[in-house]
Structure 1
């Protein structure tokens, strides 16, 4: 027992002495630890090179999301019979989506219109989802949309200087390109011809027939627009004509207005 007491007393005295020397600054534990641990050098150089500004986006003037209800109300107050308010949301190809409305753009527009649908009839509110295909800035694309007032039966829509939509009123293979689009299409053809652009013309349909019939109908629509452009002097070898049939809809197929928007030809201008 005496030996145990002596050992404990020695340990206590040794610890107290060590603390006394440390407290008085005679022992530096920090420097001892630093000598044992390899410290990685820190690069404290501050780069003076500024990041390049982001490329301009054709979406930059779109309205902020928190004002969607006010914009719809403002446009609705000026709406005339036969006009509709469209909410158009853009989405990126390959953007993940598992919903029921064909693409995330359509779903995004439906979500943005949720409050307005409580106040206005669905026949005057049209959701649209457009795939971003113009090769421009995609930064934050999932937050961007347009709200526009349109004639529900408009046959021609210029989205921007690289994209034009032509709509077909009827789901029929005998349907011909309307003469109502001749003047604007001819004017644009003259511009494309002068700028020596390449055109990609793609035909689409709604989903009211089987896939094969819709593919062929989409191709016939695309060829009818191609022929009109070629007749106006645009070189045929600078046009690519395609069909997507019922694929890639831009609106819901559960309403007549949505099916009307899906029966279309898209003209992409490769500058």
Structure 2
């Protein structure tokens, strides 16, 4: 083979090797980059939001109020605390409702809060919907509407869908009505409710050293009744009275009874009951309802009684 032929073959070999290396180092890298870009574009896609969004709507069929807004009070899943701050348009809509109601003391606002059966109810109310309605009621009251003119309700609604952050948009609806001033049934029902609270007060028992409350369904219903009563009878006061067994000295037990009463007061305040309407005191070991000679008797004496004046 001549030197010229060998030289040409060497050039051809070099070109071939270079082409192969260029393919693997450049083209495959470009494909990898393309795949990476494709993957990143897939992961960046936001999940579809199918959440339920209920508008704020307050209308009076017997008057000229019709306030509608594509916004509302929002709540986290299993919570009854309003997510704040509210938008300016929503606050403006609430002011319109307030101004309308202040022109006619017979107007009643009915607030219904909703909840799902799989939500956890950590409130003191019978259900999370009623707790949410009461939170919204308090917001209206803070604007100047009297709680005497607001009724609250709670209903289950398993059709609600939270968003990707577990927020429910507007799990609350409103209705306006007019009270007949000649109809005394509303006030009679409130008076009967007060009598029932006094005759069968809420009693909470404490284990030694306990710092939490786990209310029964009956106890939650009593809290709701107490809240409803003081909403309608503004001069009423909630009395929270702490009691102890006779373990230890009388002075320490008086302090312990007060500590338990104050704990219940904070609990009620955390459930949208005004601090100004709650009075606390301690009877210590002075008024046992059972014998302190047994564990069961001492357990019954470690209690807090919640009633109204």
TM-score scaled by length of structure 2: 0.33
TM-score scaled by length of structure 1: 0.37
